[in-house]
């Protein structure tokens, strides 16, 4: 794989930040949550965060989330499975998403 393709892949790994009470609480300890593609591994996620936000990653934890079953009228459906990653940064680094004032 050439370096250009690798960089393109890393740009597509992160789908967006997780915004919840838990991620707001852990952000104080230099951890951030992201929604990621289902086939990304820890190493790829760490490199993607380093590339996108110009920080150094200390560790990555990944969680597979099963889609919930939902009913629409008489039909029973299922939401899509997805994956989230909690990324811990090295001391002195932080990510500013530009939320708020």
pLDDT computed for residue 3 by the predictor:
59
Q: Is the pLDDT of residue 55 over 70?
A: yes
Taking only the tens place, the pLDDT of each residue in 36-47 is: 999 999 999 999
Spatial contact of 35 and 52, defined as CB atoms under 8 Å apart: no
pLDDT at 99: 61
CATH no., domain 3-89: 3.30.70.330
Contact predicate 84/62, CB 8 Å: yes
Q: Which one, of 71, 74, 53, lies nearest residue 10 by Cα?
A: 53
For Cα atoms 22, 82, 13, give the angle at the middle one, nearest 5 degrees: 90
Give the separation between CA 92 and CA 7, rounded to whole angstroms.
25
Crossing angle between the packed helical segments 42-53 and 3-13, to the nearest 10 degrees: 90
pTM: 0.85
């Amino acid at each position: 794989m050439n370096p250009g393709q690798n960089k393109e892949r890393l740009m597509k790994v992160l789908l967006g930040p997780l915004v919840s009470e838990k991620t707001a609480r852990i952000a104080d300890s230099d951890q951030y949550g992201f929604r990621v593609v289902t086939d990304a591994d820890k190493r790829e996620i760490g490199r993607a965060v380093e590339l996108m936000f110009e920080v150094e990653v200390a560790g990555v934890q990944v969680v597979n989330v099963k889609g919930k079953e939902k009913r629409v009228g008489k039909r029973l459906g299922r939401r899509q499975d997805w994956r989230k990653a909690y990324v811990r940064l090295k001391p002195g680094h932080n990510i500013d998403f530009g939320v708020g004032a």
